[in-house]
């Protein structure tokens, strides 16, 4: 009848194990995503041990949902969601590439819990001063410069650690960041206080980095230990380096800077990211109306 009686068996043999699909996903991730190292860790630690040896067409939505629910007992909701997204993305790419057995994505239809990872922690002026003093006495001589610039620019930690002298224009009071979390380059305006720190930075011959590790003359891989000691010395338990970005926004908003301008300085891709600081703007407005009311009462 013109058919191939072995076709069904050939199709079954062509269906890869999930581990092969994950390898394809990671190869694509490595070429495109800054988060590749994190994605690789999730695949290696969580996804591959569970699904690596299972054919992609045999992984059922119900079983995946149960597995994610079990992971949620020990992992943060955001981490579980990230794992779900990675597995789903691998199937999506497999379907785009015509990989047999990936036409049905087992992560679709799984209910996702709403995430609220926003954590608002803002330094007061007194806390910022305590932190500054603790950084000055740190064993890491660059920590005081790093923390100072993060507070004055609102930049992300990795953006500063990877910053190069060639992208800093003191005459124009501007720092160009060619690669950001949003994928778009941006210019960060530099206050005089930030310029003062940059002008005081140690320079190393032949080293292009703004705040390198003095021992390696390369960007710091981590400043975790120095940071932990600094916040302990300053009595600021639980403070994260990323909270310096929030604090920079807080200081700007409480000085009367509008949210649109704050979002531009921080490099937010969407306005909703800046909206988390709206309550601070409201505090500033309350001070304004109270000041106006005091004048009116005096009249």
What's the confidence (pLDDT) of residue 178?
Answer: 87
What's the confidence (pLDDT) of residue 129?
Answer: 94
User: Cα–chain-centroid distance for residue 12?
Assistant: 41
Helix, strand or coil, per DSSP, at residue 238:
coil
Confidence of residue 245 (pLDDT cuts 50, 70, 90): confident
**123 phi/psi in degrees, rounded to 5:** -75, 140
User: Average pLDDT in the 211-230 region?
Assistant: 94
Spatial CA neighbour of 128 closest among 118, 136, 116, 140: 136
268 vs 237, more confident = 237
264 vs 86, more confident = 86
Confidence of residue 253 (pLDDT cuts 50, 70, 90): confident
In whole angstroms, give the CA distance from residue 212 to residue 214. 6
Q: Which residues pair with 209 in a beta bridge?
A: 164
Render pLDDT for 3-32 as a digit per residue (tens, 0 to 9): 555 445 545 567 999 999 999 999 998 877
Mean pLDDT of the chain: 84
Location of structure tokens 């080293």? 207
Q: Is residue 183 predicted with pLDDT exceeding 80?
A: no
Most confident by average pLDDT, 225-239, 261-275, 276-290: 225-239
Give DSSP secondary structure letters for 42-83.
Answer: HIIIIIHHHHTTSBGGG--HHHHHHHHHHHTTTS-HHHHHHH
In whole angstroms, give the CA distance from residue 153 to residue 148. 9
Q: Which residues pair with 121 in a beta bridge?
A: none
Render pLDDT for 99-143 as a digit per residue (tens, 0 to 9): 999 999 999 988 776 655 556 678 888 999 999 999 999 999 999
What's the confidence (pLDDT) of residue 1?
Answer: 61
What's the confidence (pLDDT) of residue 251?
Answer: 81
Q: Is residue 149 predicted with pLDDT exceeding 90?
A: yes
What's the confidence (pLDDT) of residue 79?
Answer: 87
CB atoms closer than 10 angstroms to residue 180: 16
In whole angstroms, give the CA distance from residue 204 to residue 94. 48
Location of structure tokens 């990323």? 242
Confidence of residue 216 (pLDDT cuts 50, 70, 90): very high
Helix, strand or coil, per DSSP, at residue 174:
strand
Q: Over pLDDT 90: what percentage of the chain? A: 53
Render pLDDT for 60-92 as a digit per residue (tens, 0 to 9): 999 999 999 999 888 878 889 999 999 999 999
**209 phi/psi in degrees, rounded to 5:** -85, 145
What's the confidence (pLDDT) of residue 8?
Answer: 53
17 with 100: CB under 8 angstroms? Answer: no
Q: Over pLDDT 70: what percentage of the chain? A: 81
**Strands across the sheet containing 174-177:** 168-169, 174-177, 186-189
- Look up the pTM and report it: 0.59
């Amino acid at each position: 009848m013109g058919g191939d009686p072995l076709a069904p068996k050939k199709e079954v043999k062509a269906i890869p194990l999930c581990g092969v699909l994950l390898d394809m996903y990671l190869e694509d991730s490595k070429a495109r995503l800054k988060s590749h190292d994190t994605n690789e860790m999730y695949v290696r630690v969580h996804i591959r041990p569970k699904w690596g040896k299972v054919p992609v067409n045999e992984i059922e939505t119900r079983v995946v949902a149960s597995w994610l629910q079990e992971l949620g007992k020990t992992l943060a909701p955001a981490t579980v969601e990230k794992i779900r997204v990675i597995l789903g993305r691998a199937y999506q790419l497999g379907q785009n590439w015509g990989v047999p057995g990936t036409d049905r994505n087992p992560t679709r239809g799984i209910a996702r819990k709403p995430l609220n990872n926003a954590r608002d922690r803002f330094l007061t002026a007194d806390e910022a001063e305590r932190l500054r003093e603790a950084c000055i006495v740190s064993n890491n001589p660059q920590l005081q410069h790093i923390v100072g610039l993060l507070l004055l620019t609102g930049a992300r930690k990795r953006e500063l650690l990877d910053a190069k002298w060639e992208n800093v224009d003191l005459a124009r009071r501007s720092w160009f960041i060619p690669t950001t979390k949003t994928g778009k380059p941006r210019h960060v305006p530099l206050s005089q206080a930030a310029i003062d720190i940059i002008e005081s930075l140690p320079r190393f011959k032949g080293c292009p980095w703004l705040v390198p590790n003095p021992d390696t003359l390369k960007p710091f891989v981590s400043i975790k230990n120095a940071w932990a000691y600094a916040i302990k010395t300053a009595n600021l338990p639980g403070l994260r380096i990323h909270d310096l970005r929030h604090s920079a926004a807080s200081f700007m908003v409480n000085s009367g800077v509008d949210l649109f301008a704050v979002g531009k300085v921080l490099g937010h891709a969407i306005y909703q990211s800046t909206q988390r600081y709206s309550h601070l703007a409201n505090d500033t407005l309350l001070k304004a109306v109270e000041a106006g009311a005091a004048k009116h009462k005096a009249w």
